[in-house]
Amino acid sequence: MLWIPFTLCAAFTQALRNAQQKQLSVEVNALGVTLARFIWALPLALGYLGLLYGLQPAGFPHFSGAFVLSATGGAMSQIVATALMVLLFQRRSYATGVGLAKSEALLAALLGVLFFGARLGALGWLGVLVGAVAIWLMRGASRSGSLELSTLLLGLASGLCFALTTLWVRYACHQLDLPFMHTAAWVLVWTIATQVLVLTSWLLWRDPETLRRLWQRPSLVFRISLSSSIASLCWFTAVNLEDVGLVKTLGQVEVFFTLLLSHHWLREQVSGRDRLGLLLILLSALLVIWPSL
C-alpha cells in the first residue's frame, strides 16, 4: 500500500515539472531543458540523503558492478527520454507531449515481464491495456487531421527510454542492502550526479550558449530541479516497493494533473478526446491499485 501515495506524489510533481519545462523550452534547446531538470537536483538530493542518515542511521552501501551498470544505464536513458519529450513539447502541446510519452507504462510492463522477472495479475494487465488505449486517444493530430509518424515515433521512443530508466533504477535499488528509503536516496544521488556530469560537460564543449541561457533563468531552473528531485525520489521509492508496470500504470494519473495545468496554467485547449482519455486513465489506475486496496 505504501507505494500508492509515493506514486501519486510523483505523478503530481512530475506534471508540474513538465509544465515548467514546457515554459523553458520556448527559449532553450532540448539538452538545456534536460539539464535544468538535474542541475540543482544534485545538492537537493545530497541534502536529503544527509537528512535521512541523521534521522535514521544506517550503513553505507557497497556499489557492485551490477549496481553501477544499472544505475548509470538508468541515468543515461533518462537523459535521452527527457530530451525526446522536450522535442515533443516543441512540436505539440504540453498535454499531447506528455500523453505520447506515457506509452512508458505499457512498455515498462512488457519489458518487466520479459526481462526483469516482474509479474502482473489479470486486473493489472487490463489496467495497462486500458491505459494504452487512453494514450492512443490522446495522441494528438496534425493540422491535416492525422498524427505524423515522426511524432508518434518520438513519443514511443521517449516512453521506451523512460520505461528502461525505471526498470534499471528498480534493479539498482535491489543491489543495495539498506532500508528502502536509503536505497532510493542513494540511487537518486548516483543517477543525478551522472546526469549533471555528462550534460554539463557536453554543453561546455559543444554549446556554452545554452548554459548562459540557463544562467539567465535561475528561478525557473531551480523550480524545475526542485520538482524533479521530489518526483524522482518518489518514483524511485515506489518502484523499490512494487513492480514497475503497476507503479507506472497508476502513475498515469499524471495525465489528470497535466490536463489541469495545461488548461488553467498554460491556457491550452483540452479536446473531447483528451477528456475521454482522462476517464480511461483514471479507470486504468483504479484497475491497477484495486488488488492493493
pLDDT per position as a tens digit, 170-181: 999 999 999 989
CA distance linking residue 4 with residue 10, whole number of Å? 10
Q: How confident is the model at residue 183 (pLDDT cuts 50, 70, 90)?
A: very high
Cβ neighbours, 10 Å, residue 279: 12
User: Model pTM?
Assistant: 0.81
> What pLDDT score does 192 carry?
94
Q: Which domain holds residue 24?
A: 3-292
| Domain count within the chain | 1
Which of 150-154, 171-175, 264-268: highest mean pLDDT? Answer: 171-175
Look at the chain and count its residues.
Answer: 293
Helices marked H in the chain: 3-24, 30-38, 41-55, 65-91, 94-101, 104-115, 122-137, 149-173, 180-206, 208-215, 218-241, 244-250, 254-264, 272-289
Q: How confident is the model at residue 25 (pLDDT cuts 50, 70, 90)?
A: confident
Burial of 267 (0-12, 13-18, 19+ CB in 10 A): exposed
Mean pLDDT of 167-172: 92
CA-closest candidate to residue 99, choices 25, 143, 168, 158: 158
Angle between helices 218-241 and 180-206 (to 10 degrees): 140
pLDDT per position as a tens digit, 1-22: 788 999 999 999 988 998 898 8
Q: How confident is the model at residue 220 (pLDDT cuts 50, 70, 90)?
A: very high
| Contact (CB, 8 A) for 169 and 236 | yes
